[in-house]
Amino acid sequence: GGRPGGGRRLLGFEPVGTSDTDEFLVPDGYQAQVLIPWGTPIRPDGPAWRKDGGNTAEEQAEQIGMNHDGMHFFPLGNHREGSRRGLLVLNHEYIDQELLFPDGPAEMTEEKVRKALAAHGVSVVEIERRRDGSWERVDSRRARRVTGDTPVEFSGPVSGDHPALRAQGRPRGTLNNCSHGVTPWGTYLACEENWNNYFGTTDESWQPTPTQERYGVSASGGGFDWHLADSRFDLAANPNEINRFGWIVEIDPQRPRSAPVKRTALGRVKHEGCTVTESRGRVVAYTGDDQDGDYIYKFVGEGNWRFQRARGRSPLDHGTLYVATFQDDGRGRWLPLVFGEGELTEANGWQDQADVLLRTREAADAVGATKMDRPEWITINPKNNDVYCTLTNGSGWGNAVNPRDPNPYGHIVRWSERNGDHTATTFEWDIFVLAGDPAYDPQVELDEGNRFGSPDGVWFDPDGRLWIQTDVSNSSQHLASKGYDNIGNNQMLAADPETGEIRRFLTGPRGCEITGATATPDQRTLFVNVQHPGESTTHWGEANHENPRAVSNWPDFDPDGRPRSATVAITRLDGGKIGA
């Protein structure tokens, strides 16, 4: 090893090759253990998993949900104890209704909607490392499911009796929780991404408002068809229910009976994640709005977050929401989305700050934010405060920060806030890496040891290794016409942010994406998620309720089973730090 200047080598493993097998593959000297697949009871005495998809809604509500995504390990006890025991908190982004119900989704029923809601949301489970080094889910008073049906509260400018929130019944549930965040005070943030897909209507007189159009709300919805069996999701019968979605949701894993709180001051978009840090005592939260041509936001808290909490106020309820502009000269600026400032005045049709937040995308349009190629996860380099954001792929927007037009592979942009201060309103940016395959795009500086496309999850470990996870859509995967035929299954790579070196660390089974990354404090166990193994592809065929194993049968390989999303715990045979 040895780097210029004698620095320690950051990446110490041999890269793995690309893969198209139905296996989860790690480098030599590493091992992987499957933990809490979909349907695992969150407590040891809970309802057992039924491999035919036959668990009821009530049972699903006491089991791990489907499609694991963003995740954090909250250690319990001191550094040493906390590397052996902790709370694993993870999102269940969405569901595959072909795999969730024994007879598939064809006929939507009330019971199916209830089970679908129960398979969404967040799981909190306690896990412990055994003497032999493996991890197990243990009994815990903190074990909990938050689902699409859990009572929730609202805070910030859109809360209380706000007319936009008046709908059937009290506010319940969180849906489409993609990436996540963790606050300095130890709470978990679940982020609502493609919430528009759950709503629809057969009422032909229904028309979307301009705001609903901007968020992609439509009468046909995203194919879940819940509105056919439950008027809660009917856009005409229950028009304001949809305003209760699109928010950042705070969950306290230490208080299993506390209600999740939707923090409306952070805006309403298709939140990929919410990456929280602090500068000069103030809380700062970055969030990407994952849609082609949408924006990157940050929230800067008002005043010192410790003082706020001491006064009984949430630091996430008071502050300024900004949206990013990336100039072609490598500089950038954060523009405030504040009622009464700039374009966001009464004369221009804005009513108040709640109105600005309910229509965050339109407010960002009005101030002239920079269109991006699908902003996904955001992470911060612990060594120098640089901020990294994955832009997974897009159609190209004719600006320097999204340099390919179109951009089927995606890239990672990074920026330095002025003086390394996250509360600053100006920054300088550059592109860390253009993803892709040099066989199709000569600008790409990758090879067989690190070719990848459609970066999604990104996470800095405490040593400053940048972990990159991919989510190549299965509708385009393995199509030479899209240039993905040499890239293989979705994967995770590690990068050295100083040298730019990147190595492929693992590959997932067929049809999955790799997402979620968190480690024990000693960095000797890395947890990642395998989401939607067996998702239908044009390459291997179509998995459905009649043939759920058409694409993948990971991780059980049970001839009568079905593929299951799961967490994987990765350790080194020699017990060393992951990646080193």
Least separation, in Å, of the C-beta of 69 and Ca ion? Answer: 6
Q: Would you say 325 or 490 has its CB closer to Ca ion?
A: 490
CB under 5 to 8 A by kind: which of ligand FEO, Ca ion, none does 193 bind? ligand FEO
Does position 192 interact with ligand FEO (CB under 6 A)? The reply is no
Of 86-115, binders to ligand FEO (CB under 6 A) are 93
Does position 373 interact with ligand FEO (CB under 6 A)? The reply is no
Of 154-173, binders to ligand FEO (CB under 6 A) are none
Least separation, in Å, of the C-beta of 537 and Ca ion? Answer: 13
Task: Answer yes or no: are the C-beta atoms of 96 and 532 closer than 8 Å.
Answer: yes
Least separation, in Å, of the C-beta of 407 and Ca ion? Answer: 14
Question: Taking the chain, what is the end-to-end CA distance rounded to the nearest angstrom?
Answer: 11
Does position 535 interact with ligand FEO (CB under 6 A)? The reply is no
Q: Would you say 86 or 121 has its CB closer to Ca ion?
A: 121
Find tokens 């997932």 and name the residue: 508
Q: Would you say 390 or 520 has its CB closer to ligand FEO?
A: 390
Q: Which residues contribute to the site for Ca ion (CB under 5 A)?
A: 178, 456, 471, 513
- The DSSP secondary-structure symbol of 311 reads T
Tell me the three-class secondary structure of 153-204, residue by residue. Answer: EEECCCCCCCHHHCCCCCCECCCCEEEEEECCCCCEEEEECCHHHHCECCCC
Task: Please list the alpha-helical segments (H only) found in 14-146.
Answer: 57-60, 97-100, 110-118
Of 450-489, binders to ligand FEO (CB under 6 A) are 456
- Which residue of this chain has its Cβ atom nearest to Ca ion in the complex? 471
Does position 193 interact with ligand FEO (CB under 6 A)? The reply is yes
Least separation, in Å, of the C-beta of 178 and ligand FEO? Answer: 3
Name residue 41's amino acid. P
Q: Would you say 150 or 179 has its CB closer to ligand FEO?
A: 179
Does position 355 interact with ligand FEO (CB under 6 A)? The reply is no
Helix, strand, or coil (residue 143): coil
CA nearest 287: which of 250, 323, 320, 316? 323
CA nearest 177: which of 231, 99, 117? 117
Q: CA-to-CA distance for 236 and 217, rounded, in angstroms? A: 12
Does position 290 interact with ligand FEO (CB under 6 A)? The reply is yes
Least separation, in Å, of the C-beta of 389 and ligand FEO? Answer: 12
Q: CA-to-CA distance for 206 and 213, rounded, in angstroms? A: 12
Task: Answer yes or no: are the C-beta atoms of 151 and 161 closer than 8 Å.
Answer: no
Number of residues located near ligand FEO, criterion CB under 6 A = 7
DSSP-assigned beta bridge partners for residue 468: 458, 493
Of 270-289, binders to ligand FEO (CB under 6 A) are 272
Q: Would you say 376 or 496 has its CB closer to Ca ion?
A: 376
Question: How far, in Å, are 11, 452, 484, 554 from residue 481 at the CA level?
Answer: 33, 16, 8, 28
Task: Answer yes or no: are the C-beta atoms of 368 and 335 closer than 8 Å.
Answer: yes
* Contact residues: ligand FEO, CB under 6 A: 93, 178, 193, 272, 290, 376, 456
